[in-house]
Amino acid sequence: MNVFTLYLLLVKATLTSFTGGTSLPSIRQDLVVDRHAITDAQLSTAVAISRIGPGPNGSYVICIGHYIAGPAGAVAGYLAMITPAFLAILFLKLLEGRTGHPRARGAILGLTAAAAGLMLANGWPIARLAITSPFQLFLFAAALAAFLYRRIESIWVVLVAGLLSVVQMLYLQLHA
């Protein structure tokens, strides 16, 4: 896949998302299902890497670009990630003072609900790869509960889950 096509696919996904994670269904459909450019495991790894570090939720598009086209792909991913912000600046003047209107607010809420549904529908195939034991199912449920509770920063959830996974692997190796 050439870098320009990669950029167009990634920017299509980022332009239609409200937060970084809502571009995931589009990216999965285009790059995993349709074009087989990456695997679900690589997509899952890219999301995990981006969640560990600081920065926007959508920074996983940089990792995806790197998986597909190396450093040039990472640049395409970065440009796709920042393009919506630059375009938003142009539209701010057009929408100024109109977002409080009940119809506009209703449209925004409806689009957000649809994006959440797409994320849930496409998140399961990715989660299915990681949930291969009762312990990993427990980690999944505990992380979901922590995120829904919203008083725990995501970095702590990821770090604790990673630490518990390492401890479990060491335990299994010692008792094998």
CA distance 17 to 20: 7
Residue linked to tokens 């509770």: 149
- The structure's pTM equals 0.58
Which pLDDT score, from 0 to 100, does residue 92 have? 65
Specify the higher pLDDT residue, 170 or 120.
170
Which pLDDT score, from 0 to 100, does residue 19 have? 60
Instruction: Please choose, from the candidates 126, 164, 166, the residue with its C-alpha nearest in 3D space to the C-alpha of residue 45.
Output: 126
CA distance 26 to 146: 26
Q: Which of 9-18, 65-74, 87-96, 158-167 has the lowest mean pLDDT?
A: 87-96
**CA dist 21 → 12, 47, 57, 81, 126 (Å):** 14, 9, 6, 12, 13
Which pLDDT score, from 0 to 100, does residue 47 have? 87
The torsion angles phi and psi of 6, rounded to 5 degrees, stand at -60, -45
Mean pLDDT across 143-171: 84
Mean pLDDT across 12-27: 78
Give the number of C-alpha atoms closer than 13 A to the C-alpha of residue 120, restricted to the C-beta side: 7
Mean pLDDT across 82-93: 78
**Mean pLDDT of the residues in the chain:** 84
